[in-house]
Amino acid sequence: MTNPYVGLPKSAFWRSGVSDVSPLEFSDIYVPKFRISRNTKIAAAGSCFAQHIGTQFKNRNYNFLDVEPAPDGLAPDMHQKFGFNMFSGRYGNVYSVRQLVQMFRRANGTFVPKETCWEEDGRYYDPFRPAIQPGGFASRDELEKDVAFHLSQMARLLSEADLFVFTFGLTEGWVCLEDNAALPTCPGTVAGRFDESKYAFHNYSFSEVMEDAEAFIAMAREQNPDMRFLFTVSPVPLTATASGDHVLPATVYSKSVLRAVCGELHKKYDFVDYFPSYELVASHPMRAMFFQPNLRSVAMPGVAQVMKVFFDSHNKGRPGAKKRAASAEKGPAKGRARQKQHDLVCEEEILEEFGK
């Protein structure tokens, strides 16, 4: 007697694919749809988990785009505080695909939000990037200049990238009632003041997330017809829910919607790949081993394991492909040569005066 299950690989069965195997050794849990090489120009956005993905691409010398790089003179330990070196631009966490679409619509001028500045104690904040400038901007003019530059850089990002990596974070969000602009955080949490006549809670449905994702894909491929996409779902649960539900089912709802959208997109488009970072951290076979004691933050070994699976899967079967060690951060060779020349002048000055 035969049936479609006969002859399926071990990974297709729960026993051989999951319960009889160490969770650190799931075979073929990710089979890349397309190759990502070190020449692939990669852009990334998403929630806090997505920052880890960008860091790993950079550390492994992939061509990770950053159209708003940190100033050379800003110490590396200050980068994240000022929103640098997190993603491919200085946009901060992008929790929903609605936010993502909106950002690029602002960049191409097809959406102009009504509310563009929050003032508090003489400092000015960007409602769409409230944490980007510690202590706020010094003036409305300074904020507006920063936003204009930021959007000009966003306008280039889609045309430059070959691959866009997006980590879907949340379905819950807050919108401005006047124009339905999606805010990254609830006003009054990071910056701004909450006013229920101006802002409302919105929990994006499957169809809304799907529509937004397809709008983003269409927008991106209009600029770059060969653009490919890698989607993941953040395994990080909600900090809090405004849905009225308990935070646990609210989290499962959110992640289920996002996972279902990713699954649908993965099936529908040959240029969309899905990487199961959610499953590798948050599914029950993982025994929550990669979470911190708060069962919410992902511990660094978990990030490392997830990314190991990703890069091993991409390097599988490629003769001679080896994990490259992280290289030390190097500035452009020209800059280093100039600095060396200057240092020589200073060393000489000291030697000449005090060396005798």
Partner 1 sequence: MKVRIFGNSHVAALNRGLKTIETRSRNISIFPIGSGAYETSPFSRFSQGRVFFSNKLYADNLKKFTRNWYLSPDIAWGVCMGTHTSRICRDDFWREAEPATICATGKRPVPETTVEAIIESDQRYVKAMLTQMKQAGLAVFVLSCPPLRTSVRNVGTGVRLEVAAYLDAMARRNFVEFLEKEDIPFISPPPETITEDGFLEERFHQELSAKGTPDAHHANAEYGALMMQRVLDWLDTADLPMQADVA
The footprint of partner 1 (CB under 8 A) covers 71-75, 78, 81-82, 133-135, 137-138, 141-142, 145-146, 149, 335, 338-339, 342-343, 345-350, 352-354
Residue showing tokens 């599988």:
316
Per DSSP, the three-state class of 274 is strand
In this complex, which beta carbon is closest to partner 1, that of residue 5 or of residue 354? 354
We find the least distance from the C-beta atom of residue 160 to partner 1, in angstroms, to be 17
Residues in the chain: 356
CA gap 345, 172 in Å, rounded: 58
Are 208 and 98 contacting, i.e. CB atoms less than 8 angstroms apart?
A: yes
In this complex, which beta carbon is closest to partner 1, that of residue 139 or of residue 313? 139
In the 8-state DSSP scheme, what is residue 15?
I
We find the least distance from the C-beta atom of residue 150 to partner 1, in angstroms, to be 10
Backbone angles phi, psi at 175, to 5 degrees: -125, 155
Per DSSP, the three-state class of 271 is coil
Are 255 and 233 contacting, i.e. CB atoms less than 8 angstroms apart?
A: yes
We find the least distance from the C-beta atom of residue 332 to partner 1, in angstroms, to be 8
Joined tokens for residue 301? 């070994």
We find the least distance from the C-beta atom of residue 119 to partner 1, in angstroms, to be 15
In this complex, which beta carbon is closest to partner 1, that of residue 8 or of residue 351? 351
Nearest to 219 by CA among 304, 320, 101: 101
In this complex, which beta carbon is closest to partner 1, that of residue 34 or of residue 149? 149
Backbone angles phi, psi at 232, to 5 degrees: -140, 165
Torsion 291-292-298-301 (CA) sign:
negative
We find the least distance from the C-beta atom of residue 68 to partner 1, in angstroms, to be 8
We find the least distance from the C-beta atom of residue 134 to partner 1, in angstroms, to be 6
In this complex, which beta carbon is closest to partner 1, that of residue 92 or of residue 276? 92
Are 207 and 143 contacting, i.e. CB atoms less than 8 angstroms apart?
A: no
In this complex, which beta carbon is closest to partner 1, that of residue 134 or of residue 244? 134
In this complex, which beta carbon is closest to partner 1, that of residue 4 or of residue 332? 332
In this complex, which beta carbon is closest to partner 1, that of residue 179 or of residue 347? 347
CA gap 154, 313 in Å, rounded: 30
In this complex, which beta carbon is closest to partner 1, that of residue 85 or of residue 305? 85
Longest dimension (CA), the chain: 96
We find the least distance from the C-beta atom of residue 84 to partner 1, in angstroms, to be 9
Nearest to 284 by CA among 69, 2, 14: 14
C-alpha distances out from residue 176 to 15, 20, 111, 128, 288, Å: 49, 50, 14, 11, 36
The amino acid occupying position 156 is R
We find the least distance from the C-beta atom of residue 315 to partner 1, in angstroms, to be 35
We find the least distance from the C-beta atom of residue 74 to partner 1, in angstroms, to be 5
